Amino acid sequence: MAPKGEFFRWWGKDTRKGTPVIVTMENVNYSVVEIDGPDSAFRPIDKDRVKNAKQFTWVLILKANRAVGCLAWLGHILWALLGAIKKRLFLRNGVAMESENENEGKSGKGKFLFGFILCLLMTAMAFLGFEVIAHYMRWPYFQEHNLHIPQTLEIRSWLHLIYVSWLGFRADYIAPLILSFSNFCVVLFLIQSLDRMILCLGCFWIKYKNIKPRINGDPFNSNDNEPSKYIYPMVLVQIPMCNEREVYEQSISAVCQLDWPKDRLLIQVLDDSDDESIQWLIKGEVSKWMQKGVNIVYRHRLIRTGYKAGNLKSAMSCDYVKDYEFVAIFDADFQPNSDYLKLTVPHFNENPELGLVQARWGFVNKDENLLTRLQDINLCFHFEVEQQVNGVFLNFFGFNGTAGVWRIKALEESGGWLERTTVEDMDIAVRAHLHGWKFIYLNDVKVLCEVPESYEAYKKQQYRWHSGPMQLFRVCLPSIITSKISIWKKANLILLFFLLRKLILPFYSFTLFCIILPLTMFVPEAELPAWVICYVPVFMSFLSILPAPKSFPFIAPYLLFENTMSVTKFNAMVSGLFQLGSSYEWVVTKKAGRASEPDLLAAAERESLPAMNLQQSHRGASDSGLSELIKLKEHQESPPKKKKTNKIYKKELALAFLLLTAALRSLLSAHGVHFYFLLFQGVSFLLVGLDLIGEQMRAHVAARVRSLI
């Protein structure tokens, strides 16, 4: 046994990591050492204890075992990636090419952008081959890239002559052009980074001073001696939906359980579904809550124009709306808590200039996969920093389209819902701001919803979110200029709200990191400094991830993914700005219906009930169409799921190969940080292009549900 003196007994009080290994030597002349880990044998030891070759061998074996495990893990990831590439690019198993009929394809802008990227890729590959030939032919200037070519240069061949001429043309004409454009993008990058830093400082100040909207007293406080004197205003709740089979039930259920006097509340279910079976299901859910005493109505439009804006506009034209003072809006996947109205509506008391109270979003499926985690980081910064700072210091921010309460008078004075853009929420917010209405953002009030779990759904959502603001900027710019608001409010709307955060951000992200950076690898005279490529982006990503501190391990994937999404955002921004093709098309974001763990349990229990229990659960429904409803519940509530088809996104794949080609060129020149950035950014584009970013961990989810049950 190893010797244990007083020192060892005292040291043993600390918690040790790993499994202790006792090595005993057969030769009594050798000392005995206790090894706690692979590095313990190399620590300073007493002079009277002699190191042993067998001990070093044992430690080296431990280190080799750890290294082999790490290499095996990396090899497994690489093998899985190669398998996915083979499956998607060569075998085409369960894979479909990106449809040209999607948003960016209809306008022709998507085809033009893909052709431009493909042209850059072919040119880069040709230049790379030329540079490799020059390197192995030992032609000068491959490493040095001198700007002035000596007259005594010996021309070895016609290919060498072409290479030398290219070096001179590159230094005299191409490099200055790229330098000018890159400097312009870097200036925009620094301005946008400064804006983000100011927003973060404002958020820190809000946290430090504990600034937030407050209600005077407790309007709902009551006791046995004196009841509450609060006069509940008339509130209208609207749930616009369109073919929302997965989430209609949970959203209607959550809204019907709002804690508000039933005679002061009306719920409108605004169904734009064109699937008759879904219409019957929603009607049955509305009938069930109606029989429970909830004041709820079902509305379906025969002429479905204007998408969500047209749906809301049609609902506000009802005669009974004039009896209500406020309207709360929830999209079909949102589930407000029962106290939502009590936390929001009282802010309107004694504040006649207040037009909107906006609550924060909470995401129930943020841990579903890598894509949902990255969206959580992005949206947490939007709500925690952007919305909160603008709400506190400017009393204005973009309405998020849901989880908000409007004063109906503010909607009417601002012109109501208009169908001129795909961002009707931002449109009404800008017009209300121009009419002098103020907004309040409540960061402490959270409404549960879900984020897209597939890259296809997320891409369509981001396309609409970035093309719509540019449409709106075109149509409302004259109104902003001629409005009666102060000059600094006009400057905030035009320069910050629209230009800097909606136009400049996607523009420089795409051009600087996806076009200019790989080009500079082949034009080293215009090379970008390391602080532009690494230090400033990492610092900005650090600031962006602060509102979601649990997501710090994902800071590198977040940075890479944001640059990857820049191609979609840039394409959408240009389409909206120049009114190209389908920039006015609304695509409903596909939802999975993953509300919460209690809802998963309830759904599992409902599926286990026999058919007669299903009939009893809808006994409160109206007799009209009851038999049809039961049949639909049995046969169509769980339709056969289509096999998931992954898509290949051509623009992302072309950019992936362009960046990887530039990474190879950077490796030849030993650029350091440029090589690593290009390599990882190219891999991220490759993963997105092969639709691997939103892969479902179905086995993990199934195990989680089984453990809950």
Element (H, E) at 70: helix 53-85
Model confidence band, residue 59 (pLDDT cutoffs 50, 70, 90): confident
Give the whole-angstrom CA distance, residue 540 versus residue 489: 26
* Closest C-alpha among 263, 313, 300 to residue 415: 313
pLDDT confidence of residue 287: 95
pLDDT confidence of residue 558: 95
Q: Tens of pLDDT along 313-334?
A: 999 999 999 999 999 999 999 9
Greater model confidence, 487 or 169: 487
What distance lies between CA 347 and its chain's CA centroid?
Answer: 31
Give the whole-angstrom CA distance, residue 503 versus residue 91: 39
Q: Do 634 and 646 contact (CB within 8 A), yes or no?
A: no
pLDDT confidence of residue 302: 84
- Average pLDDT estimate for 98-111: 54
Greater model confidence, 590 or 651: 651
pLDDT confidence of residue 7: 41
Lowest model confidence (mean pLDDT) among 288-302, 322-336, 511-525, 662-676: 662-676
Provide the mean pLDDT of the chain: 81
* Tokens representing residue 581 in the block: 């093709």
Q: Tens of pLDDT along 121-130?
A: 998 898 888 7
Pairing of strands 296-300, 265-271: parallel
pLDDT confidence of residue 160: 73
- Average pLDDT estimate for 331-339: 94
Give the whole-angstrom CA distance, residue 63 versus residue 648: 41
Greater model confidence, 587 or 212: 212
Model confidence band, residue 4 (pLDDT cutoffs 50, 70, 90): very low
Greater model confidence, 375 or 589: 375
Element (H, E) at 198: helix 175-209
183-195 burial, b if ≥16 CB within 10 A, otherwise e? eebbebbeebeeb
A 10 A CB-CB count for 696 gives 14
pLDDT confidence of residue 605: 47
pLDDT at 15 over 60: no
pLDDT at 487 over 60: yes
pLDDT at 609 over 70: no
* Closest C-alpha among 327, 329, 340 to residue 407: 327
pLDDT at 259 over 60: yes
Model confidence band, residue 267 (pLDDT cutoffs 50, 70, 90): very high
pLDDT at 613 over 50: no
Residue 543 sits at the vertex; the CA angle it makes with 697 and 447, to the nearest 5 degrees, is 55
Give the whole-angstrom CA distance, residue 580 versus residue 15: 65
pLDDT confidence of residue 53: 65
pLDDT confidence of residue 707: 46
- Average pLDDT estimate for 522-528: 88
Q: Tens of pLDDT along 385-410?
A: 999 999 999 999 999 999 999 999 99
pLDDT confidence of residue 233: 95
Model confidence band, residue 467 (pLDDT cutoffs 50, 70, 90): very high
pLDDT confidence of residue 574: 92
In a 13 Å sphere around the CA of 308, the CA atoms on its Cβ side amount to 27
* Closest C-alpha among 632, 645, 650 to residue 688: 650
Q: Do 422 and 471 contact (CB within 8 A), yes or no?
A: yes
pLDDT confidence of residue 698: 42
Q: Tens of pLDDT along 619-637?
A: 333 344 444 444 445 544 4
pLDDT at 31 over 70: no
Lowest model confidence (mean pLDDT) among 283-297, 602-616, 651-665: 602-616
Give the whole-angstrom CA distance, residue 111 versus residue 253: 44
Contacts of 576 (CB under 8 A, 6+ apart): 466, 467, 468, 469, 470, 471, 583
Model confidence band, residue 164 (pLDDT cutoffs 50, 70, 90): confident
User: What φ, ψ does residue 193 adopt, rounded to 5°?
Assistant: -65, -40
pLDDT confidence of residue 58: 73
Model confidence band, residue 26 (pLDDT cutoffs 50, 70, 90): low
pLDDT confidence of residue 599: 53
Q: Where do we find the tokens 């389409």?
A: 575
- Average pLDDT estimate for 242-262: 93
Q: Where do we find the tokens 């600031």?
A: 543
With pLDDT > 90 as the criterion, what percentage of the chain qualifies? 55
pLDDT confidence of residue 332: 92
A 10 A CB-CB count for 675 gives 19
Q: Tens of pLDDT along 649-666?
A: 999 999 999 999 999 988
Q: Tens of pLDDT along 560-588?
A: 999 999 999 999 999 999 887 666 667 77
With pLDDT > 70 as the criterion, what percentage of the chain qualifies? 72
278-298 burial, b if ≥16 CB within 10 A, otherwise e? bbbbbbbbbbbbbeeebebeb
pLDDT confidence of residue 638: 47
* Closest C-alpha among 650, 657, 697, 706 to residue 678: 657
**Residue numbers annotated as active site:** 272, 425
pLDDT confidence of residue 596: 52
pLDDT confidence of residue 69: 75
